[in-house]
Structures are given as structure tokens and as C-alpha cells.
Structure 1
């Protein structure tokens, strides 16, 4: 796994498999957010398989798939709700970009736009194009 830390509570990565979940639990994550719609790639494990394994391990699992239609207010609100859970949160998609984008948008109004952009950049993701949205 290529885990990238955004802050002390949130990390993101590219696609994971059910076999990665024990290591995520051991690393202290409590909530798993799946931001990838099923069926994007033939080798992609179904979200239901990851959810099943997460629940076996006592992890919270939240599905907020972001596909070609882009971001919605509901996705941002669902991300904000998932982040409100106690403990560390791990989000994944194909590359980590969608997970980082939803995290950034969920933080608009919660912290300064420059801080959001810097945290994402420190994790290797450029969300500077969202600056106007993050300043609202």
C-alpha cells in the first residue's frame, strides 16, 4: 500500500484489497472510506468484499463513490460525517486524488484554504484548483 498522510487523522491511498485491511487496523485506522465506484477496472476488488472484511475486523466502512459525474453536496456532507467518527480515517480510490478532493472540500469553512491546499500538497496531491471552493 502507498499510504499518504494528509494530517494526523486522515490518510489516503490508491486502491486497496481486502488483504490490506488487517495492516490498516494495526496502523490504528478506525474508518475506511471507499471513494471508488465498483467496476472501474477489471482487477478492482468489489467494494462489498472490502466492506465485509472491514466489518469482520471491527472497522467502520463508508462508501462514497465518486464517478464521472463528479462531486455532489451529498458526497461532501457524507465525507464530513465519516470524518466526524472517532479515530483515524483511511480513504481510497484509484489513485488517492478523489479521496483527497473530497477531504479538501469537506474541510471548506473548517480550516483556511491555504492550510487545506498545503496539507494535500504535503501528501502529494494538488488541490490548488479548488481554492475558490475552499475559501467559501
Structure 2
């Protein structure tokens, strides 16, 4: 798990058994940014959803494929982040898509691209490839 800031941490793929520790760590929402079936041995999102909801956590599924990011996905991420009752835990295959989608949602909400890039870099993620999109989204407000 890598902490982006007080409101978000990201990680590679989790399984249903990991949800208990995520809840114990104080997270209130899990966001799944990985499409089902990306790899044959990956846990299904519904199994993680069931574990999360059993423990009282909110769960959102915003899958990102190799096709890239859409405005609908950015808006869904923003809505999930804004609706969270506490810290959010997002995952995908490596944590990169979750970080990128968070960054785009932050920029669209008026976040400063330099601050967004710095937070991601501190967690070990490079946003160079999406920096022009961050600047465009932040400037569109």
C-alpha cells in the first residue's frame, strides 16, 4: 500500500481476505480500478465488494482498461472520493491506474497540478505521461 495523502492510499491487486486489514487501517471506501478478467488468477470484484460491504465499507468499481481514461471515469472517481466518509483505498494491478485516475479527478476539481504530481511522486508514481491532461483539466475550471 502506498499513501498518496490523508484521504487516499493505493495498492496493487487485493483479495477478499485483505479487506479486513483495510477496514482495520481505518479506510471507509474501497475503489476497484481494475476490470474483471484482466488476468486469469485475479480475484473477482464482486468477491471484494461482498467482503467490503460485510465489514461496512463502501465499494466503487471504476475499471480502467488499456483504452485509457474517459471523462466518465474521472467523474466517477471524483464522485467516489467526494462521497467517501473517510480515507479511501484504491487498487488496480499495480496502483498506477488508481493514482492516475485520482490525479485526473483532483485536477478536474481544481487541484494544483504541481501539488498532485508531487504527491504521486512521493508515493513512487510518475505522472509525466498525463501531465498535459492534468494541466488541461485544472485550467478548464
Q: Offset at 1:116?
A: 0.4
Q: Offset at 1:68?
A: 2.1
Q: Which residue does the alignment assign to 2:139?
A: none
Alignment of 1:1-136 (within 5 A): 3-84=1-82, 85-109=84-108, 110-136=110-136
Q: Which runs of 5 or more residues in structure 1 are unaligned?
A: none
Secondary structure, in 3 states, of the residue corresponding to 2:107? coil
1:128, 1:92 → 2: CA distance? 20
1:111, 1:73 → 2: CA distance? 16
Q: Offset at 1:133?
A: 1.5
Secondary structure, in 3 states, of the residue corresponding to 2:59? strand
Aligned residue pairs, count: 134
Q: Offset at 1:16?
A: 0.2
Secondary structure, in 3 states, of the residue corresponding to 2:10? strand
Secondary structure, in 3 states, of the residue corresponding to 1:15? coil
1:42, 1:130 → 2: CA distance? 29
Deviation by residue 1:101-125 (Cα, 9 ceiling, x = unmatched): 0000001142211100010011110
Secondary structure, in 3 states, of the residue corresponding to 1:62? strand
Secondary structure, in 3 states, of the residue corresponding to 1:87? coil
Q: CA RMSD in A?
A: 0.8
Q: Offset at 1:135?
A: 1.7
